[in-house]
């Protein structure tokens, strides 16, 4: 299975793993699964940290280094991802989430999110509930 992590799921996996249910943690650690993080995740952490948003108290460089050290595969943002955003329904206005959805559609990969609004898209998205 190929999975792309939404930013909150990435942060929980790396910095607060107790927030993920054990079966989900086990699945993400399974070497048979390709688990991706996106440049979008790091961009979102950088922007929201600089704005002082709650839940974004982590240094973007620390998140990047932890993702790489954990063996996650980095997904760059490509022009086709950016173009695909225009085809998405206007269900959600968050540019980070919209770009992650577009990446999931283009790659393809299943987007793992805790955001119910994101889960409403007609895309390969799995909604998870944090502990």
* pLDDT score of 101: 98
Please give the tally of structural domains in the chain: 1
* pLDDT score of 34: 97
Tell me the backbone φ, ψ of residue 58, rounded to 5 degrees: -100, 145
Using alpha carbons only, what angle is made at residue 88 by residues 86 and 89, rounded to the nearest 5 degrees? Answer: 120
**Half-sphere exposure of residue 98: CA atoms within 13 angstroms, side-chain side:** 14
* pLDDT score of 75: 98
| Averaged pLDDT score across all residues of the chain | 96
* Structure confidence by residue, pLDDT tens digits, 3-44: 999 999 999 999 999 999 999 999 999 999 999 999 999 999
Answer yes or no: is pLDDT of 131 > 90.
no
53 is in which domain, residue-wise?
2-127
Which of 83, 88, 90 is CA-nearest to residue 111? Answer: 88
Q: Looking at residue 55, which CATH number applies to its domain?
A: 3.40.50.1010
Answer yes or no: is pLDDT of 130 > 90.
no
* pLDDT score of 71: 95
């Amino acid at each position: 299975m190929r999975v792309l992590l939404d930013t909150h799921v990435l942060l929980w996996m790396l910095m607060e793993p107790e927030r993920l249910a054990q079966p989900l943690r086990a699945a993400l650690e399974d070497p048979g699964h390709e688990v991706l993080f996106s440049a979008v995740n790091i961009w979102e952490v950088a922007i929201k940290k600089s704005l002082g948003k709650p839940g974004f108290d982590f240094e973007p460089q620390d998140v990047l280094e932890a993702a790489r050290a954990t063996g996650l595969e980095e997904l760059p943002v490509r022009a086709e991802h950016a173009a695909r955003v225009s085809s998405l329904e206007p269900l959600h206005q968050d540019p980070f989430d919209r770009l992650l959805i577009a990446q999931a559609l283009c790659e393809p990969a299943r987007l793992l999110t805790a955001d119910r609004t994101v889960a409403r898209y007609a895309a390969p998205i799995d909604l998870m509930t944090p502990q």
